């Protein structure tokens, strides 16, 4: 068995097969259009690759995608060393080929390929099938908790400054502090816009409207959000809150924005710094995440992995 990068024709062939897994709410034609639209997004054009595990006769046994993302190592004296990490998505084996270890073979060969990249740091994936399969290939499970908040009526602009949809995501992202961690992933502006593109695709199917803002600021704190999935939810992509009061103000704005857009709830992925900010927030519910379990595999032997590595929703693929 060997690993090859898919051609455009092979990508479409895999799309037809993966429709049954990831085509919810869409017809096959709409799903194929969605995949093509996402592949032509600037982030995907620059940093996405599709990989095939092939048998000796060239037949495809399994497939996945990788997205290059930024990451940083903190040196003992403090300065950050930038590098490349790789988010892995859409790991797929046809039902008739399952149970033969092909997904594990794919992950092992892919890791060996990525380790040879000159700036490689780590691989990141979000498992919907639990940790066991990917643990075989050296992936370590991270905690996965969500905070759910119900929408509330009112002006989203109350106590905060809303970021208009045409605002510069990069400028907003620059306001956020880097995590105080020996190693961490960090999204690019194009990566965050890729999430918003997913919302633009699904909004007509969900019977809601796109949020009228990208997020909000108050004081030195910033939140970025969006309709970014096939569920009618306002997803918090990034949150940097400097105090409980500012966290409550930002999430209150998110709840009012969700209400204005006809969305069912606000969903925040918990990071290590969030619990003390949210424990006193009225109406917030902490729940174990159903799917999208973050798992990390170092691609270099000296990579320090903190047990509470922050993984915001903006990193998901």
Over residues 28-75, the pLDDT tens digits come to: 999 999 999 999 999 999 999 999 999 999 999 999 999 999 999 998
% of residues, the chain, pLDDT over 70: 100
> What's the pLDDT at 167?
83
Q: How far apart are CA 296 and CA 139, in angstroms?
A: 5
Instruction: Encode 194-233: b = buried (16+ Cβ within 10 Å), e = exposed.
Output: bbbbbbebbbeebebebbebbbbbbeebbbbbbbbbbebb
Structure tokens at 90: 């859409």
> What's the pLDDT at 304?
87
The residues spanned by each domain of the chain are: 2-143+291-315, 145-288
Over residues 166-175, the pLDDT tens digits come to: 889 999 999 9
Name the fold adopted by 2-143+291-315.
Answer: Aminopeptidase (3.40.630)
Q: Which position has the higher pLDDT, 294 or 275?
A: 294
pLDDT band at 275 (very low <50, low <70, confident <90, very high): confident
Kindly compute the dihedral angle of the four CA atoms of residues 135, 137, 143, 145, in this order, to the nearest 10 degrees. -90
Please give the full DSSP string across 243-278, using - where no structure is assigned.
Answer: SHHHHHHHHHHHHHHHHHHT-S-EEEE--TTTHHHH
Over residues 112-143, the pLDDT tens digits come to: 999 999 999 999 999 999 999 999 999 999 99
145-288: same fold as 2-143+291-315?
Answer: yes
* Element (DSSP H or E) covering residue 285: strand 284-288
> What's the pLDDT at 307?
79
Structure tokens at 242: 């400097």
Q: How far apart are CA 303 and CA 179, in angstroms?
A: 16
Which pairs with CB-CB distance under 8 Å and at least 24 residues apart come from 276-279? 276/244, 277/241, 277/243, 277/244, 277/247, 278/147, 278/247, 278/251
> What's the pLDDT at 77?
83
Q: How far apart are CA 146 and CA 144, in angstroms?
A: 7
Tokens 């495809």, residue?
60
Q: How far apart are CA 65 and CA 302, in angstroms?
A: 26
Q: Which position has the higher pLDDT, 278 or 193?
A: 193
pLDDT band at 276 (very low <50, low <70, confident <90, very high): confident
Domain 145-288 has what CATH class?
alpha beta
**Cα distances (Å, whole numbers) of residue 104 to 6, 109, 132, 136, 195:** 19, 9, 10, 7, 28
* Number of C-beta neighbours around residue 273 at 10 A: 17
Q: How far is CA 227 from the centre of its chain?
A: 13
> What's the pLDDT at 252?
97
> What's the pLDDT at 306?
78
> What's the pLDDT at 305?
83
**Given a cut of 80, is residue 78 above it in pLDDT?**
no
Over residues 199-210, the pLDDT tens digits come to: 999 998 999 999
- What does the pLDDT average to over 147-165? 96
- End-to-end CA separation in angstroms for the chain: 26
């Amino acid at each position: 068995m060997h690993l090859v990068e898919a051609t455009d024709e092979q990508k479409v062939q895999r799309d037809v097969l993966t429709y049954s897994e990831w085509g919810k709410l869409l017809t096959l034609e709409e799903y194929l259009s969605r995949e093509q639209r996402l592949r032509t997004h600037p982030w995907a054009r620059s940093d996405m690759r599709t990989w095939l595990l092939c048998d000796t006769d060239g037949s495809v046994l399994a497939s996945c995608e990788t997205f290059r993302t930024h990451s940083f190592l903190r040196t003992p004296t403090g300065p950050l060393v930038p590098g490349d990490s790789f988010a892995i998505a859409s790991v797929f084996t046809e039902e008739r080929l399952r149970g033969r270890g092909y997904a594990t073979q794919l992950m092992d060969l892919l890791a060996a390929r990525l380790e040879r990249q000159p700036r490689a740091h780590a691989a990141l994936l979000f498992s919907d099938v639990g940790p066991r399969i990917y643990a075989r290939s050296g992936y370590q499970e991270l905690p996965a908790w969500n905070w759910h908040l119900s929408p509330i009526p009112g002006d989203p602009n109350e106590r905060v400054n809303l970021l208009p949809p045409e605002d510069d995501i990069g400028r907003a992202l620059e306001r956020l502090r880097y995590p105080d961690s020996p190693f961490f992933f960090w999204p690019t502006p194009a990566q965050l816009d890729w999430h918003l593109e997913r919302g633009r695709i699904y909004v007509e199917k969900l019977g809601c409207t796109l949020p009228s803002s990208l997020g909000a600021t108050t004081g030195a704190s910033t939140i970025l959000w969006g309709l970014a999935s096939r569920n009618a939810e306002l997803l918090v992509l990034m949150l940097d809150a400097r105090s409980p009061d500012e966290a409550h103000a930002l999430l209150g704005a998110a709840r009012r924005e969700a209400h204005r857009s006809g969305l069912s709830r606000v969903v925040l992925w918990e990071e290590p710094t969030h619990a003390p900010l949210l424990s006193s927030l009225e109406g917030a519910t902490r729940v174990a995440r159903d799917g999208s379990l973050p798992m990390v595999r170092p691609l270099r032997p000296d990579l320090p992995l903190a047990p509470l590595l922050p993984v915001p929703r903006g990193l998901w693929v």
